């Protein structure tokens, strides 16, 4: 039986330092109002409903002028960088300053996936907590996939293809190592799993629904508004 003092804890890290320029909104997209609340409020409410999480830390840009007025009690760090990877890497150091250890789990979640449900996060934790690598929420590809620009260059077989989502759950120390190695190698990683993969490791895929989509384009906001207002 494990010593309770040695059981790895789980922390959530929410990078929210981007401007969301593709969203076509007057504010950074994490602060746009949806169903009567800022987008980020829905994200944080879902994470707050996960009892396994010891702390949720939000990474914001140093020049952010909105967060503290909207979320005065939410733990955060003004260490956001120019890229997601830079924000996450700085956020890991901020979590260590909050007492997280290298063997603790960190669940990195996109601020703009505001339709997240606590039950999906708990499934990820239950599935990956004893895993040697960790894993991520993802959705098997159902559509026919085309590669090209203005015209189709090829049809890509969808067998075995998944659309990566978040949270993505990895050990703090291993994720720090992976992000540092990717930076030194000049790799442009767009999610944490790809940095872990570059170490030769294979994260576990945990199926999640299409509803856990990331708000990116203007039309995504109208869809999210409808879904949020029709939730029980």
* Residue entry with tokens 């790799």: 187
CB 169 within 8 A of CB 128: yes
What is the CATH classification number for the domain harbouring 192? 3.90.550.10
Task: Kindly state whether residue 13 falls inside one of the protein's structural domains.
Answer: yes
Q: What is the pLDDT of residues 103-156, one digit of tens each?
A: 999 999 999 999 999 999 999 999 999 999 999 999 999 999 999 999 999 999
Band of the pLDDT at 57, cuts 50, 70, 90?
A: very high
Task: Kindly state whether residue 163 falls inside one of the protein's structural domains.
Answer: yes
**Higher-pLDDT residue of 1, 111:** 111
| pLDDT of residue 198 exceeding 70 | yes
Band of the pLDDT at 18, cuts 50, 70, 90?
A: confident
β-pairing, 145-148 vs 152-156, is: antiparallel
> What does the pLDDT read at residue 19?
66
Closest among 160, 70, 165 to 114, alpha carbons compared: 165
- Which residues are registered as beta bridge partners of 12? 56, 107
Query: How many domains does the chain contain in total?
Result: 1
β-pairing, 37-38 vs 33-34, is: antiparallel
Task: Kindly state whether residue 1 falls inside one of the protein's structural domains.
Answer: no
Domain that includes residue 204, residue range: 7-229
Task: Kindly state whether residue 2 falls inside one of the protein's structural domains.
Answer: no
């Amino acid at each position: 039986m494990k010593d309770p003092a040695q059981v790895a804890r789980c922390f959530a890290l929410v990078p929210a330092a981007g401007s969301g320029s593709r969203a076509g909104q007057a504010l950074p997209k994490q602060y746009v109002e949806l169903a009567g609340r800022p987008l980020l409020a829905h994200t944080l409410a879902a994470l707050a409903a996960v009892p396994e999480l010891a702390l949720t830390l939000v990474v914001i840009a140093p020049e952010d002028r909105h967060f503290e007025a909207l979320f005065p009690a939410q733990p955060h760090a003004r260490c956001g960088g120019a890229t997601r990877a830079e924000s996450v890497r700085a956020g890991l150091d901020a979590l260590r300053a909050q007492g997280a250890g290298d063997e603790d789990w960190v669940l990195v979640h996109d601020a703009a996936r505001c339709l997240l449900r606590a039950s999906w996060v708990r499934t990820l934790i239950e599935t990956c907590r004893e895993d040697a690598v960790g894993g991520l929420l993802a959705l098997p590809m159902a559509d026919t996939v085309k590669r090209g620009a203005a015209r189709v260059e090829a049809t890509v077989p969808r067998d075995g293809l998944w659309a990566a989502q978040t949270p993505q759950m990895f050990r703090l120390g291993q994720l720090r190592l992976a992000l540092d190695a990717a930076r030194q190698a000049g790799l442009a990683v767009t999610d944490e799993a790809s940095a872990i993969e570059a170490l030769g490791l294979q994260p576990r895929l945990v199926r999640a629904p299409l509803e856990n989509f990331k708000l990116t384009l203007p039309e995504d906001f109208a869809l999210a508004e409808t879904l949020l207002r029709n939730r029980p």
